[in-house]
A = this chain, B = another copy of it.
Amino acid sequence: MNKPDKEEQILNLLKAAREDYISGEALSKKFGVTRASIWKNIHALMKQGYGIERRPNTGYKLISSPDKVLPAEIREGLETEYIGRELYCFNEAGSTNEIAMKLAEGAVTEGTVVIAEKQTAGKGRLGRKWLSPAGAGLWFSIILKPKISPQHSAKLTFVAGLAVLDAIRTVSGLQAGLKWPNDLLVNGKKVCGILTEIKSGPDIINYQVLGIGINVNISEKEFPEALRATATSLAQEAKKEVARLRLLKEILKNIETGYEVFKKEGFKQFLIRWKEHSVTLNRKVKVAGLLESWEGLALDIDEDCALIVRLDSGEKKRVLSGDVS
């Protein structure tokens, strides 16, 4: 389901009616369909987890909405123009990035979001897996079509990182830090990873997919033991459940705002803010690149998002891609 259909419109009417009942007859008149057809939609909504009371001779009333990444729940109160307006919501998906990259090949609107309750093949960087259990996190991908050259795609990962950082603070009160190149940490442990993928010609990107994975309400027990030393969730750190849908909507809003500013005013101010919130700079680091590794002091991040490391030999190394520890 990508744009509001009859089912979602019925849901919105029920939401708007609040404590009132809406009769099946009124609904069937409004949409020009039979009452049986309306009942089919109500039934489908109930299957998705909406609590709907059905009172004979009176009608339907919405009792409860599920805490699920469903189109109507995401659109409700969403303060964006285009990001998240077209939605592909899955109860279970392999990888939202893979789906988004495939969708982007077709005629898809910029800002389309692919989101899943659970990923069975969530992707991390460098071919790694990303743990994405059901209901406890946000696993989603945004399709963008920026008119930028492929060398600049990393900048949008930085813009997205700041958007997530701000949203986490607003919604959970936690102050995250940014780990080069594309993770967010809280109290030194990973809560979010951003995986950017592109299809590109030599001059301009065809499309860019920002894949964002956030450990929202994952309990310590849900993490495999091997991950517990390095990964955490917002709920663990905030010591309370974090409103997943609110966080998602805040992120989508921040990314849209950031993306618009980036397009109009460039990258400079984002780089300054990113460095302010970096947990990588001014620290002794070990960087594992694709072929080599280096140790030294993380000195700076340049305008191409490369990490500048001063090696123990005094030599300055410019690293475009790698793992920092």
Hey, which bits of chain A sit against chain B, CB under 8 A?
A: 101, 125-126, 147-154, 157, 181-182, 195-204, 290-291, 304, 320-322
Which residues of the other chain, B, contact A195 by a CB distance below 8 angstroms? 201-202
Tell me the smallest distance from the CB of A310 to a CB of chain B, in Å: 20
Known: A148-B290, A149-B321, A320-B149. A200 touches B202 (CB 8 A): no
Give this chain's copy count: 2
**Bound Cα distance from A196 to B205, whole angstroms:** 12
Contact yes or no, B150 A198, CB < 8 A: yes
Nearest chain B CB to A299 CB, angstrom units? 19
Question: Inside 8 A of A157's CB, which chain B residues have their CB?
Answer: 202
Assess the A320–B151 pair: CB atoms within 8 A. Answer: yes
Q: What are some 14 contacts across the A-B interface (CB < 8 A)?
A: A125-B202, A126-B201, A149-B321, A151-B151, A151-B320, A154-B202, A181-B202, A196-B201, A197-B200, A197-B201, A198-B198, A199-B199, A202-B321, A204-B321
B321 & A125 in contact (Cβ 8 Å cutoff): no
The one of B147, B150, B204, B321 in contact with A153, judged by C-beta atoms closer than 8 angstroms, is B150
Could you tell me the distance between the alpha carbons of A290 and B197 in the complex, rounded to whole angstroms? 21
